[in-house]
């Protein structure tokens, strides 16, 4: 509401001042102080350092924000002109304070617009070409002397060193320098394989800073000058106002002005301290060789556990499960769902209500890293299960599902098959593969979450009709074909529900068909075969196990397929889609 409030306030000020301009009357003292407040609007329109854009599109529209800036600055100039108009003659000290506030307000508001511009792809590419501004000029950070493990702050400083490489990913020109490779190698040696996940989380948080905060501007020489000038200007304006005569002004106006001045000083001081103690500042100190200052700030940040907050929001994966939605006993009883359906927002409500998150456990990290390390880079970029299926000699039977179909169809087929297979083939008790099963389920649900809730994060066209077709089908299977009721559903566990669906689709007496391939569909109706039929057929093939694999090998196959699809989607998604996330 800041922009709209400022426009209204400036308009109201100008009208009020115009009406009381000539001739000065007894009530004129009631508005004499009002124009002094106009620069404060510009100051606060600059916004906090921690947010400039609410969406990536705001960065692309920085010229529109620049036009708004020009209009509001002109409005403030007009109000201040009325402030110094003949007949008012404000005190010289008050006029000087107003001028200081106006200049500072313009600088702060301009800084926000500049930050929006710097969050665009063109500006990111340009920053890569400017080697003089590289955060890596001081060499990589090798950690504390004698330390056997890098802590969060040290990983964060290493992420700063590798930031240009990650910017290159956005600019479609990633080139890893030797020093950046050294940071990766040393980090893995000290912290193990999970260091890669920790570093990636930090890199994402730094890219977020560039896109949505003032970080790209704040830690330049221009930004540093503004951080020095703004607090000093606030203090000078406060002193000048304190020295000026206040006899002509009402007590209420004087009190409001003091509140505005003290509030502005506190905000600017906090902003300067936050910038000086940020990880961006630490990286700058290290790059310039000010290691004593870098170490001092990092010790303070460790005490306050500042760095840990950066990765806290990146330790979970979005989850969405098709069968959970279809078999929810209370899905028609939610009041918000009924209201959403009445106003035509049923689909949106379902996406929000049935989405959840799962923690990124060490087991998931280990599984993903293990599968990635088995493959060559081309297998990660261009395979959606082909590599692991060929290794286990399953590719000839599952070629169409692995390669000869769209990504969104593959996700839906494998999601259904994974859910059915894990329920039909539970492990022993105790199960040595329980962590792998849980990790597979998380990856499967996450890929469907991307497809349903954030389809723009997947390459190519995502057809929502396929998801809705399967939703409708399994809803019918559970409530019509299996004649389930709300009461009976609530008494069953999730595994019991999935097993009932699996047994209905793939009865035990048909197992031999899948072992010998009799259950495969005819070649002439492949294109028209529903996704849910493919999913159940694949689940049957996996359960039939015509390849005579062990349970652990079968889980490895399913896990490998999901990792390959995740890597494929990440590689082939274009930059602008990724930035929307």
pLDDT digits (tens, 9 = 90+) for 210-267: 999 999 999 888 999 999 999 999 999 999 988 887 777 788 888 989 999 999 999 9
> Is a pLDDT exceeding 60 seen at residue 30?
no
Residue 524: pLDDT over 50: no
Sign of the alpha-carbon dihedral angle for 8, 11, 16, 19: negative
Q: Which residue has the tokens 């399994």?
A: 474
Q: For 498, what's the count of Cα atoms within 13 Å in the CB-facing half-sphere?
A: 22
- 332-368 in b/e form (b: 16+ CB < 10 A) is eeeeebeebeeeeeeeebbbeebbeebebeeebbbbb
pLDDT on residue 322: 94
Q: What's the token pair of residue 249?
A: 């002004």
Mean pLDDT within 296-302? 92
Q: Is 213 helix (H, G, I), strand (E, B) or coil?
A: coil
DSSP state of 479: I
Which of 535, 508, 538 has the alpha carbon at shortest distance from 397?
A: 538
> What pLDDT shows up at residue 90?
61
Residue 526 pLDDT: 45
Conformational region of residue 357, where left means phi above 0, alpha means psi within -120 to 50, and beta covers everything else: beta
Segment 523-528 shows an average pLDDT of 45
Q: pLDDT tens across 102-150, in order? A: 999 999 999 999 999 998 888 888 888 765 444 444 566 666 666 678 8
What values do phi and psi take at 540, rounded to 5?
-65, -40
Q: Would the pLDDT of 31 be above 70?
A: no
pLDDT recorded at residue 259 = 93
What's the mean pLDDT in 155-172? 85
Output 455 or 334, whichever has higher pLDDT: 455
- 493 burial class (0-12, 13-18, 19+ CB within 10 angstroms)? exposed
Helix (H, G, I), strand (E, B) or coil at 376: coil
DSSP 428: P
Q: Which residues contact 277 (CB under 8 A, 6 or more apart)?
A: 297, 300, 301, 306
**pLDDT (0 to 100) of residue 478:** 93
Distance CA 290, CA 282 (A): 9
The per-residue pLDDT for 88 is 58
Minimal CA–CA distance to 436: which of 356, 366, 499? 366
- Residue 435 in contact with residue 370, Cβ under 8 Å? no
CA–CA distance, 282 with 18 (Å, rounded to integer): 51
pLDDT at residue 134, as a whole number: 47
DSSP-derived secondary structure for 137-187: TT-----STT-SS--HHHHHHHHHHTHHHHHHHHTT-----HHHHHHHHHH
523 vs 126, residue with greater confidence: 126
d(CA 264, CA 259): 8
Cα atoms in the Cβ-side hemisphere of radius 13 Å centred on 525: 8
Q: Which residues contact 91 (CB under 8 A, 6 or more apart)?
A: 244, 245
pLDDT tens per residue, range 366-425: 999 999 989 888 888 888 899 999 999 999 888 888 888 889 999 999 999 999 999 888
pLDDT of 57 over the 50 cut: yes
Q: How confident is the model at residue 239, as a pLDDT?
A: 93
Q: Where are the alpha helices (DSSP H) in 277-406?
A: 279-287, 291-304, 308-312, 322-326, 335-342, 346-353, 362-374, 377-382, 386-391, 395-402
Q: What are phi and psi of 328, to 5 degrees?
A: -75, 120
| pLDDT the model gives residue 143 | 64
Q: Which residues of 466-489 are buried (b: 16+ CB within 10 A; e: fewer)?
A: bbeebbebbbebbbeebebeeeeb
List Cβ neighbours of 483 (8 Å cut-off, separation of 6 or more): none
pLDDT tens string 200-211: 889 989 999 999
pLDDT computed for residue 26 by the predictor:
47
Position 576 confidence tier, pLDDT thresholds 50, 70, 90: low
Share of residues in the chain with pLDDT > 70 (%): 88
Mean pLDDT of 175-202: 85
Q: Which residue did the predictor score with more confidence, 18 or 230?
A: 230
> Hey, what are 341's tokens?
């359906």
- In angstroms, the CA 28 to CA 14 distance is 14
Nearest to 288 by CA among 81, 135, 497: 135
CA-CA-CA-CA torsion sign (522, 526, 528, 532): positive
At 523 the pLDDT is: 40
- CA dist 307 and 538 (Å) reads 45
For residue 574, the cross-strand partners are none
Domain segments of the chain as ranges: 1-131+141-280, 317-579
CA pair distance 475, 481, nearest whole angstrom: 9
Tokens of 80: 């201040």
Q: Which range is most confident: 16-25, 330-339, 536-545?
A: 536-545
Name the pTM for this structure.
0.84
Q: Which two tokens stand for residue 39?
A: 């620069």
**Residue 126: how many other CB atoms lie within 10 Å:** 13
Which range has the worst mean pLDDT, 428-432, 491-495, 523-527?
Answer: 523-527
How far apart are alpha carbons 174 and 197 in whole angstroms? 19
Average pLDDT of the residues of the chain: 85
| Radius of gyration for the alpha carbons in the chain, expressed in angstroms and rounded | 31
Q: Which range scores top for mean pLDDT: 168-172, 500-504, 512-516?
A: 500-504
Q: What distance separates the 2 farthest-apart alpha carbons in the chain?
A: 101
What is the signed CA dihedral for 495, 500, 502, 508, rounded to 10 degrees?
Answer: 120
The one-character DSSP state at 516 is: T
């Amino acid at each position: 509401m800041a922009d709209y409030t400022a426009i209204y306030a400036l308009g109201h000020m100008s009208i009020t001042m115009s009406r009381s301009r000539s001739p000065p009357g007894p009530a004129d003292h009631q508005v004499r102080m009002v124009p002094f407040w106009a620069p404060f609007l510009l100051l606060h329109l600059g916004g906090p350092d921690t947010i400039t854009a609410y969406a990536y599109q705001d960065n692309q529209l920085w010229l529109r924000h620049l036009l708004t800036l020009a209009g509001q600055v002109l409005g403030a100039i007009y109000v201040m002109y009325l402030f110094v108009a003949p007949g008012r003659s404000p005190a010289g000290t008050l006029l000087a304070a107003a001028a200081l506030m106006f200049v500072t307000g313009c600088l702060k508001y301009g800084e926000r617009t500049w930050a929006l511009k710097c969050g665009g792809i063109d500006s990111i590419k340009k920053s890569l070409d400017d080697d003089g501004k590289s955060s890596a000029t001081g060499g990589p950070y090798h950690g504390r002397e004698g330390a056997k493990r890098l802590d969060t702050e040290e990983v964060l400083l290493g992420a700063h060193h590798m930031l240009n490489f990650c910017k290159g990913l956005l600019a479609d020109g990633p080139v890893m320098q030797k020093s950046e490779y050294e940071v990766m190698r040393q980090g893995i040696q000290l912290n193990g394989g999970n260091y890669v996940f920790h570093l990636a989380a930090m890199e994402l948080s730094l890219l977020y800073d560039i896109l949505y905060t003032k970080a790209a501007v704040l830690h330049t020489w221009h930004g540093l000058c503004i951080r020095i000038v703004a607090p000093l200007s606030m203090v000078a304006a406060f002193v000048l106002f304190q020295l000026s005569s206040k006899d002509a002004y009402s007590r209420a106006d004087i009190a409001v002005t003091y509140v505005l001045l003290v509030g502005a000083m506190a905000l600017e001081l906090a902003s300067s301290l936050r910038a000086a103690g940020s990880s961006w500042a630490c990286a700058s100190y290290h790059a310039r060789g000010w290691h004593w200052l870098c170490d001092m700030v990092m010790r303070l940040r460790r005490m306050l556990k500042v760095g840990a907050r950066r990765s806290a929001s990146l330790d979970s994966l979005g989850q969405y499960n098709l069968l959970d939605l279809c078999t929810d006993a209370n899905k028609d009883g939610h009041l918000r769902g009924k209201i959403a359906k009445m106003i035509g927002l049923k689909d949106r409500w379902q996406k929000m209500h049935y989405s959840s998150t799962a923690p990124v456990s060490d087991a998931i990290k280990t599984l993903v890293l293990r599968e990635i390390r088995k493959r060559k880079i081309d297998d990660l970029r261009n395979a959606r299960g082909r590599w692991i299926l060929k290794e286990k000699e399953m590719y000839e039977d599952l070629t169409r599902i692995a390669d000869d179909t769209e990504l969104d169809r593959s996700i839906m087929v494998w999601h259904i098959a994974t859910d059915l297979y894990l329920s039909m083939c539970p492990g022993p008790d105790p199960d040595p593969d329980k962590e792998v099963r849980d990790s597979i389920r998380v990856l499967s649900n996450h890929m469907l979450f991307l497809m349903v809730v954030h389809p723009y994060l997947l390459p190519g066209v995502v057809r929502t009709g396929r998801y809705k077709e399967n939703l409708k089908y399994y809803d019918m299977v559970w409530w019509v074909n299996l004649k389930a009721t709300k009461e009976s559903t609530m008494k069953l566990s999730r595994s019991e529900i999935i097993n009932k669906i699996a047994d209905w689709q793939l009865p035990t007496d048909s197992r031999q068909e899948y072992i010998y391939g009799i259950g495969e569909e005819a070649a002439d109706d492949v294109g028209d075969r529903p996704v849910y039929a493919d999913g159940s057929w694949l689940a049957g093939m996996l359960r039939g196990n015509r390849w005579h694999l062990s349970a652990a090998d079968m889980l490895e196959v399913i896990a490998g397929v999901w990792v390959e699809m995740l890597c494929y989607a990440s590689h082939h998604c274009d930059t602008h889609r990724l930035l929307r996330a």
